[in-house]
A = this chain, B = another copy of it.
């Protein structure tokens, strides 16, 4: 399963959920990702649009990754050849 992330806010929420699932503080995640606690805070809020590199660092620290697929309404994954 993978959750879609179309907006910075959605991405922030998913990151926060994953972090809490691991019982990590923002500081712990920040250290692992080479960022500041404050940066994690803004990312999770999704208000200040982050840099791609920063998000990738966070995802990596959480053992997560981006996937790119066709837009699907709802949560389906009925996709064919796009690339």
Interface centre among A54, A70, A80 (most CB of B within 10 A): A70
Q: Mark A14-35, 1 if CB is under 8 A from B, else 0.
A: 1001100100000000000000
User: How many copies are assembled?
Assistant: 2
Majority SS at the chain A contact face: mixed
* A residues contacting the other copy or chain, number (CB 8 A): 39
A14 to B49, CA, bound (A): 22
Interface centre among A11, A21, A65, A77 (most CB of B within 10 A): A65
Taking the closest CB of chain B, its distance from the CB of A2, in whole angstroms, is 3
Give me 5 other A-B pairs in contact (C-beta within 8 A), A4-B65, A6-B66, A52-B52 excluded. A1-B80, A2-B69, A4-B68, A65-B70, A66-B68
